[in-house]
């Protein structure tokens, strides 16, 4: 009976002790863990039950040897990881795709496929497109249709992709909503890298992979539109030329 009461008291005391210890700073926790370990070892030594510790250490020796053997393979693993990271650098997943015109900058989230835009200059300069009301976006579209067709096409593409049903129809009705690569003018290599979300000097394989990933998200059959698809195709052609 006394043994059972003592065991219950020990369990309750340990439970409160652990709760108290978890609320203490890390250095205090480690100090008490060390004290408890010393007390346990002393108790085992006094009661003559240290032999099981030596048995456990002896059983762990082969495991430790195997562990050191595996450690010797770490340089090979590091090399593999380094090559893997190098092969993915420059892909669209590591850098957002970005399209810029005179008035707008629109970026694509490579994970979600969502578009985010910012007004670079002119009406509503510095504002995020996603923060503008439908009326304000309509005003921008009218202004760009009059002053900069490239910005009008990009804004129309943003509206279409972002679900502003009907907001871009006025632009499409004027015959400028759809675009081909040939009608968008010359594209610099810097612009092409930005559109595909690549770093300068990307390999042919990286260019093709980035193009494939983007076109899957922005193709007209997948919720994109002709303007965005044409820009992506033009960027690939510019870099592979």
**Spatial distance between the Cα atoms of 145 and 143, rounded to a whole number of angstroms:** 6
User: What tens digit of pLDDT does each residue of 8-29 get?
Assistant: 777 877 777 777 777 767 677 7
* Predicted TM-score of the model (pTM): 0.56
Decide: helix, strand or coil at residue 119. strand
Task: For 170-207, write each residue's pLDDT tens digit.
Answer: 444 444 444 444 445 689 999 999 999 998 889 999 99
Alpha carbon distance 125, 235 (integer Å):
27
Q: Which residues of 85-108 are buried (b: 16+ CB within 10 A; e: fewer)?
A: eeeeebbbeebebbbbbebbbbbb
Q: What residue spans define the domains of the chain?
A: 2-72, 93-240
Tell me, what's the pLDDT at 84? 53
The CA distance from 113 to 93, in Å, is 11
Which DSSP symbol is given to 111? Answer: T
Q: What's 93-240's CATH class?
A: mainly alpha
Is residue 222 within 8 A of residue 155, CB to CB? The reply is no
Q: Which letter does DSSP use for residue 107 in this model?
A: E
Which helix (H) or strand (E) segment holds residue 184: the answer is none
């Amino acid at each position: 009976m006394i043994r059972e009461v003592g065991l219950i008291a020990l369990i309750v005391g340990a439970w409160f002790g652990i709760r108290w210890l978890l609320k203490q700073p890390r250095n205090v926790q480690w100090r008490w863990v060390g004290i408890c370990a010393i007390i346990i070892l002393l108790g085992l030594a006094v009661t003559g039950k240290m032999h099981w510790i030596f048995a456990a250490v002896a059983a762990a020796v082969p495991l430790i040897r195997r562990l050191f053997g595996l450690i010797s393979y770490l340089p090979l693993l590091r090399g593999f990881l380094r090559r893997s990271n190098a092969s993915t650098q420059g892909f669209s997943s590591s850098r957002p795709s970005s399209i810029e015109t005179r008035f707008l900058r629109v970026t694509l989230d490579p994970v979600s496929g969502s578009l985010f835009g910012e007004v670079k200059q002119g009406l509503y300069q510095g504002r995020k497109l996603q923060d503008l009301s439908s009326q304000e976006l309509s005003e921008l579209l009218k202004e760009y249709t009059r002053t900069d067709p490239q910005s009008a096409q990009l804004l129309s593409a943003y509206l279409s992709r972002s679900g502003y049903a009907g907001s871009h129809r006025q632009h499409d009705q004027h015959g400028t909503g759809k675009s081909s690569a040939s009608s968008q003018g010359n594209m610099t290599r810097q612009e092409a890298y930005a559109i595909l979300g690549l770093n300068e000097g990307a390999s042919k394989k990286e260019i093709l992979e980035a193009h494939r990933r983007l076109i899957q998200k922005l193709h007209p059959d997948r919720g994109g539109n002709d303007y965005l698809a044409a820009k992506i195709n033009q960027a690939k052609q510019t870099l592979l030329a």
